[in-house]
């Protein structure tokens, strides 16, 4: 069979609409079958629903060894294109003016395409250590798939020397990122005609108090830290980004629902931040609500969570990736990746991949061919180092 180069692989991968609400199985099975044709078995770790899967494959060392080595990690899902105005078909890779346009071209099917394109070269190298491919589902909605993959690898007793997460960093080394934690809050009050306000309990107004409290906590971090000036946003942030409530302008709302997130610096406790919010609900908001309506309540549901990453400069993978890229700068980012999960699982991890995060999630998302070429050179040298 004729193996695809990185651009051909990217064309194939972009053509699969793996928006997180959809299945990624067609893409995963395509990769599995292609690897099988080269004699590389791949393990699929399915979601509980069965409609999605992670893929893990090992390219053994020259002596057949499968322990240790380096993991090349990427997610297969992409964000929606709904409501965005594209100049090209988002699910057909299109070259214009020296750029390759398509959903996921940058975030992060470009990295996966480069890794797959080099598999035959990797197999031909007399490596003393294995290389591993780990492709996940549902990273974009809270790193849902990776924990299942890591759990299975732990059960198998797998050990690794390090991992490169190929999120778009313009092929520069990122050694840390913030954690991200998403919550949904439902505030339950009591409906009434708006002319009889004292007979109701306005869920929107009470939700507004909680939203303002979340903003107060965010303002405290902005004003007082802690800070890490290597981050583009050097403090922990909290934001409320969606809200729904009410049925009519003349009806007291009995339900208001909103979603909030916070992005914490490494070393900041998620439990401490969320504890401040829950303490306000318990000690101040609920007593006030229940003074109006005894059955008033507030429900907070954790939707997704991904821990922060802070790579050790002493870790071999950090030193190796710095040496191969020539990048010695300390670079930390506000966007989250699966790197924190991998690090917490005992796999030293750094982030380095083709394309710019500034293009991710936007209409007309693109990656430059030069970035794919740089990624190929990096991955080839990474494999040769083994």
Residues 111, 351: Cα–Cα separation, whole Å: 11
pLDDT digits (tens, 9 = 90+) for 287-321: 999 999 999 999 999 998 899 999 999 999 999 99
* Model pLDDT for residues 98-109, shown as the tens digit of each residue: 999 999 999 999
Interatomic CA distance for residues 327 and 381, integer angstroms: 15
Structure tokens at 320: 């190796």
Whether 189 is in a domain gets the answer yes
Share of the chain above pLDDT 70, in %: 100
Q: Report pLDDT digits (tens) over 271-283.
A: 999 999 999 999 9
Work out the mean pLDDT of the chain and round it to a whole number: 96
- Is there a domain that residue 153 lies in? yes
Looking at residue 67, what is its pLDDT?
93
Q: Please say which residue of 271, 305, 339 terminates a domain.
A: 305
pLDDT band at 2; cut points 50, 70, 90? confident
Which of 283, 305, 327 delimits the end of a domain?
Answer: 305
For residue 113, tell me if it sits in a domain.
Answer: yes
How many independent structural domains does the chain possess? 2
User: For residue 186, is it within any domain?
Assistant: yes
Query: Is the bond leading into 45 cis (omega within 30 degrees of zero)?
Result: no
What pLDDT is recorded for position 304? 87
Find the mean pLDDT for residues 79-106: 97
Pair 72, 149 in one domain: yes
Q: What is the pLDDT of residues 316-329, one digit of tens each?
A: 999 999 999 999 99
Shared domain check, 370 and 296: no
**343 and 290 assigned to the same domain:** no
Shared-domain flag, residues 254 and 317: no
pLDDT exceeding 90 applies to what percent of the chain? 98
Q: Are residues 133 and 166 in the same domain?
A: yes
Residue 134 dihedral angles phi and psi, to the nearest 5° = -130, 110
Are residues 165 and 207 part of one domain?
no
Question: Known catalytic residue: 82?
Answer: no
User: What CATH number does the domain containing 324 carry?
Assistant: 3.40.630.10
Same domain as 300, residue 212? yes
Q: Decide if 77 is catalytic.
A: yes
Do 58 and 167 belong to one domain? yes
Full DSSP string of 97-132: TTEEESTTTTTTHHHHHHHHHTHHHHHHS--SS-EE
Looking at residue 232, its pLDDT comes to: 85
Same domain membership, residue 170 and residue 40: yes
- pLDDT tens-place string over residues 252-265: 999 999 999 999 99
22 assigned to some structural domain:
yes
The token duo for 156 is: 């198998």
- Give the model's confidence band at 340: pLDDT under 50 very low, under 70 low, under 90 confident, else very high: very high
Residue 347, in any domain of the structure: yes
Q: Is residue 143 part of a domain?
A: yes
1 within domain boundaries: no
Q: Which of 229, 385, 369, 230 is nearest to 322 (CA)?
A: 385
| 239 and 350, same domain (yes or no) | no
Q: Which of 17, 107, 139, 310 is catalytic?
A: 139
Q: Are residue 353 and residue 300 in the same domain, yes or no?
A: no
Q: pLDDT tens digit string along 139-197?
A: 999 899 999 999 999 999 999 999 999 999 999 999 999 999 999 999 999 999 999 99
Q: Are residues 170 and 205 in the same domain?
A: no
- Of the three residues 305, 335, 357, the one that is the final residue of a domain is 305
Please give the residue range of the domain that contains residue 300. Answer: 179-305
Grade residue 1 by pLDDT with cuts at 50, 70 and 90: low
Q: Which CATH number goes with the domain that contains 258?
A: 3.30.70.360
Mean local confidence (pLDDT), 211-227: 98
């Amino acid at each position: 069979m004729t193996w695809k180069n990185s651009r051909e692989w990217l064309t194939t991968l972009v053509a699969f609409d793996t928006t997180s609400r959809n299945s990624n199985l067609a893409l995963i099975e395509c990769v599995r079958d292609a690897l099988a044709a080269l004699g590389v078995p791949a393990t699929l770790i399915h979601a509980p629903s069965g409609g999605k899967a992670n893929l893990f494959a090992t390219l053994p060392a020259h002596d057949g060894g499968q322990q240790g080595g380096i993991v090349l990690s990427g997610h297969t899902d992409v964000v929606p294109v709904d409501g965005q105005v594209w100049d090209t078909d988002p699910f057909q890779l299109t070259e214009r003016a020296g750029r390759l346009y398509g959903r996921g071209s940058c975030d992060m099917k470009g990295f996966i395409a480069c890794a797959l394109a080099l598999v035959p070269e990797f197999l031909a190298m007399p490596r003393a250590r294995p290389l591993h491919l780990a492709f996940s589902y549902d990273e974009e909605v809270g790193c849902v798939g990776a924990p299942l993959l890591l759990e299975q690898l732990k059960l198998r007793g797998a050990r690794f020397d390090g991992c490169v997460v190929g999120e778009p960093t313009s092929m520069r080394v990122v050694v840390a990122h913030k954690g991200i934690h998403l919550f949904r809050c439902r505030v339950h009050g009591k409906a009434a005609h708006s002319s009889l306000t004292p007979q109701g309990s306005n869920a929107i107004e009470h939700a507004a108090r909680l939203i303002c409290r979340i903003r107060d906590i965010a303002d405290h971090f902005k004003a007082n830290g802690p800070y890490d000036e290597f981050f583009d946003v050097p403090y922990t942030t909290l934001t409320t980004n969606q809200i729904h409530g009410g049925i009519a302008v003349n009806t007291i709302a009995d339900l208001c629902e909103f979603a909030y997130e916070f992005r914490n610096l490494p070393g900041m406790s998620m439990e401490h931040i969320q504890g401040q919010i829950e303490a306000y609900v318990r000690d101040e908001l609920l007593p006030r609500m229940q003074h109006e309506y005894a059955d008033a309540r507030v429900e907070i549901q954790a939707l997704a969570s991904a821990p922060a990453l802070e790579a050790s400069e002493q870790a071999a993978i950090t030193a190796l990736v710095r040496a191969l890229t020539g990048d010695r700068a300390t670079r930390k980012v506000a966007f989250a990746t699966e790197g924190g999960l991998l690090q917490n699982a005992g796999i030293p991890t750094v982030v380095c991949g083709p394309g710019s995060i500034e293009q991710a999630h936007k209409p007309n998302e693109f990656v430059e061919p030069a970035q794919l070429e740089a990624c190929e050179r990096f991955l080839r040298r990474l494999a040769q180092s083994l």
